[in-house]
Amino acid sequence: MDCIRKRVNDEIERGWIGSNLECPYHPCHFWGQDCTFCYCPFYPCEDEDLGCSTRGKNGKPVWNCSDCLLIHRKEVGSYVMSEIRSRGIADARDPRMKDLFQDAKKRFWRMGKALMVVGATSDAGKSVTVAAICRILHRRGYLVAPFKSQNMSLNSKVTRNGSEIAMIQTLQSQAAGLKNPDHHMNPILLKPKGDDMSQVVVCGKPFADYRVKEYYDEFVPGPGIRIVKEHVDFMRRRYDFVVMEGAGSPAEINIYDKDIANMKAAEMADAAVVLVVNVEWGGSFAYALGTVELIPEKDRRRIKGIILNNVRGSTDSIRQGAKRLEELAGVPVIGVIPHVEVSLPSEDSEALRGVGGKGSGRYKVGVVRFPRIANFTDLDPLFMEDASVVYVQSPEDLDGVDAVILPGTKNTVADYKWMCAAGISDGLKALRGKVPILGICGGYRMMGSVMDDSVGMESGAAGIYEGLGFFDNRTVFSEYKKTVANREATLLRGDGGEVTGYELHMGQTEVGEEPLFRIERMFGDPWNEGSVKEDEKLFGTYLHGCFDLPAFRRYFLSFVGEGASVSGKEGEKSYKELLEDSLDALADAFEKGLDMDRLMGILEAGE
């Protein structure tokens, strides 16, 4: 603690105010943060609104305020520094510091306001709406964060602390200008393994597997409600605005009382609600009116606006209908948003429904469309090359492909059986050596010789399965333990190069092949990962996101035909920069299509 005080005293003596763009860690919290106090002059404030007491390594209680952003607000940094000066404080231990803290908190801290975005259907555009509002508010200088109490998705990512949360919340967090997405943004993640069973991830860690009925009967009324309340409160204490995302439709009246993702979460956060409807599918006015009216009276009053999203062509005709909708529903239409063509990852496989492929590049990459396909956003960076994707659901879909990818899946065994029954496995064996084939995570395991699930952990039914036999690898599912980690790696083949990614899997694989990557570690020895047989054009890795940086995707595509000359369509932009541009374009479209005064009014008023 004395060390922190000494640093603070240095900061006071220096008296410098502003953002430190020179710092190699900038921004360590959010874009636009104030760095006047890299170390908080009030530590430990012991204010429960801003931090909590935890146990340190030695078992002694330690004040933990690592998520507090108060001192990094622009107005707070300069206020505190100038007050320190004018009050003549020279030492962090000065008792007047406590008064100054109280003054600063009183002046600048308040419980944040929450806005809940619900959708009339899945894929209504809730998550892009949340991302757009986060970016708009961030650009207007607010501290804002996304939140989704319960997300059912097979696309997840790993946070800095090694927690697993839904991918889309990490994207929204990026939209909000935040550096470190964390598990508070998505405290409950449901990962479906079959039609009726899901793995429930709580605070980023696997909690247990539940059947749908047990989840609603036991988990929701038990720990579920408490978890949502705790985390949404946590977020409101740290941000001006928490933009919450609902799940599915809030008007599923058959399970209304057990739904902790929509109106109940809004109630817990005292949030105003806006309803988003996807106009593209037709019936949007009916969906909007039906949703508003089926929600019970006591919750309906929270609904402050309707957004008609994804309008193709002219918005004039829709606006006429919108007037009539306002009269019928008694809720104003606060936005008509045109269809925006942006490259953003999609949240769930509903977005893949009825989609035969994506992109228009020259090289056709066949992606096996597993029934429980997971982390398929891994493939998005491929569109930065001259590549397009076709989804493979039958052996005929493999005709004429230049490369094949076996993506991740939540249920390796069940989806492997599906792939064999569909005849795709035989198709892949016929393509071996002719076109490059890459397996990622679940797909990588399938390329091995054996998948040993003798305890029935993965599929529910015990068994040992023979894989495609492309690699001499053996995967064993034994204990209920998940590998969750971000990785930095080096490509060991081709021209080498940097690769980033993350591992998310149950079970472990014994590898009998040459490695593809070397995992680099800040402390400790590196180790090898993945499998490669260049002469047979076979590649496999556990690293989701391995295409994000150009090195590996270009190496992989170089095995197409006689060796494709691959040059990025988007120049040398990284995938992350492309996402930034897309988020800005999205926010621009929403800012234009939304009645912003009205939205700001709704945000400020809360419920």
Partner 1 sequence: MRVLVLGTSSAAGKTTLCAMLCRHYAREGMDPVPFKASNLSLNSYATKDGGEIGMGQAFQAWSAGLEPETDMNPVLLKPSGNGIIQAVVNGRPFQDYGRGRELDREAAMAEAVKAYGRLSAKHGFVICEGSGSPAELNLMDRDMANTGLMDRTDVPAILVGDIERGGVFAAIYGTWRIMPDRLKPRLKGFVINRFRGDGSILKPGIDRIEELTGMKCLGVLPYLSLRFPEEDSYSSSEGRLEGTTVREAFLRNIDEFTDAAERSGFDFDALTRIARGRSSSRRHPHGADLGVLRDCRIHGHRLSADYEDVGVGKDAA
Cβ at position 287, least distance to partner 1 in Å: 5
Dist CA 145 CA 176 (whole Å) = 6
Contact between 449 and 469 under an 8 Å Cβ cutoff? The reply is: yes
Which of 160, 205, 324, 429 touches partner 1 (CB under 8 A)? 324
SS (H, E, C) 441-498: CHHHHHCCCEEEECCCCCCCCCEEEECCCCCCCEEECCCCCEEEEEEEEEECCCCCCE
Task: Tell me: does residue 607 bind partner 1 (CB under 8 A).
Answer: no
Task: Tell me: does residue 305 bind partner 1 (CB under 8 A).
Answer: no
Which of 1, 90, 111, 328 touches partner 1 (CB under 8 A)? 328
Task: Tell me: does residue 510 bind partner 1 (CB under 8 A).
Answer: no
Which of 17, 62, 202, 294 touches partner 1 (CB under 8 A)? 294
Task: Tell me: does residue 388 bind partner 1 (CB under 8 A).
Answer: no
- Give me the residues paired with residue 157 across strands: 165
Helix intervals (H) in 47-145 = 74-86, 96-108, 126-139
Per-residue buried b or exposed e for 237-273, using 16+ beta carbons within 10 Å of the residue's own CB: bbbbbbbbbbbbbbbeeeebeebbbbbbbbbbbebbb
Cis upstream peptide for 41 (omega within 30°): no
Cβ at position 422, least distance to partner 1 in Å: 9
Dist CA 275 CA 292 (whole Å) = 8
Q: Is 184 a catalytic residue?
A: no
Which of 317, 478, 565, 567 touches partner 1 (CB under 8 A)? 317
Dist CA 515 CA 199 (whole Å) = 30
CB-based contacts of 343, cutoff 8 Å, min separation 6: 380, 383, 578, 579, 582
Nearer to partner 1, 247 or 451 (CB): 247
Which of 251, 271, 406, 599 touches partner 1 (CB under 8 A)? 251
What string marks each residue from 136 to 175 as x (binds partner 1 by CB under 8 A) or -? ----------------------------------------
Choose, from 45, 65, 134, 441, the residue flagged as catalytic: 441
Cβ at position 545, least distance to partner 1 in Å: 26
Of 155, 137, 154, nearest to 146 by C-alpha is 137
Nearer to partner 1, 421 or 522 (CB): 421
Contact between 97 and 89 under an 8 Å Cβ cutoff? The reply is: yes
Q: Is 26 a catalytic residue?
A: no
Nearer to partner 1, 119 or 530 (CB): 119
**DSSP code of 30?**
B
Cβ at position 469, least distance to partner 1 in Å: 27
* Half-sphere exposure (Cβ direction) of 1: Cα atoms closer than 13 Å: 11
Which of 33, 151, 156, 291 touches partner 1 (CB under 8 A)? 291
Cβ at position 465, least distance to partner 1 in Å: 23
Which of 350, 498, 577, 581 touches partner 1 (CB under 8 A)? 350
Task: Tell me: does residue 253 bind partner 1 (CB under 8 A).
Answer: yes
Nearer to partner 1, 282 or 571 (CB): 282
Total residues binding partner 1 (CB under 8 A): 44
Return the biggest CA–CA distance within the chain: 80
Question: Which helix (H) or strand (E) segment is 320 a member of?
Answer: helix 316-329
Which of 285, 539, 547, 556 touches partner 1 (CB under 8 A)? 285
The CA-to-CA distance between both ends of the chain, in Å, stands at 41
Task: Tell me: does residue 58 bind partner 1 (CB under 8 A).
Answer: no
Nearer to partner 1, 239 or 418 (CB): 418
Choose, from 134, 183, 544, 546, the residue flagged as catalytic: 544
Nearer to partner 1, 336 or 599 (CB): 336
Question: Which helix (H) or strand (E) segment is 508 a member of?
Answer: strand 508-510
Which of 248, 361, 381, 448 touches partner 1 (CB under 8 A)? 248
* 3-state class (DSSP) for residue 45: coil
* 3-state class (DSSP) for residue 406: strand
Nearer to partner 1, 352 or 585 (CB): 352
The C-alpha angle with vertex 211 and arms to 209 and 217, in degrees rounded to 5, equals 110
Task: Tell me: does residue 393 bind partner 1 (CB under 8 A).
Answer: yes
Task: Tell me: does residue 320 bind partner 1 (CB under 8 A).
Answer: yes
The C-alpha angle with vertex 55 and arms to 49 and 59, in degrees rounded to 5, equals 160
Which of 33, 36, 121, 155 touches partner 1 (CB under 8 A)? 121
Contact range with partner 1 by CB under 8 A, out of 139-147, 322-330, 463-471, 559-567: 322-330
Dist CA 540 CA 432 (whole Å) = 13
Which of 38, 212, 225, 492 touches partner 1 (CB under 8 A)? 212
Which of 321, 395, 515, 606 touches partner 1 (CB under 8 A)? 321
Give catalytic residue positions: 441, 544
Give the residues lining the site for partner 1 (CB under 8 A). 119-123, 195-196, 212-213, 248-249, 251-255, 280-291, 293-294, 317-318, 320-322, 324-325, 328, 350, 353-354, 356, 393-394
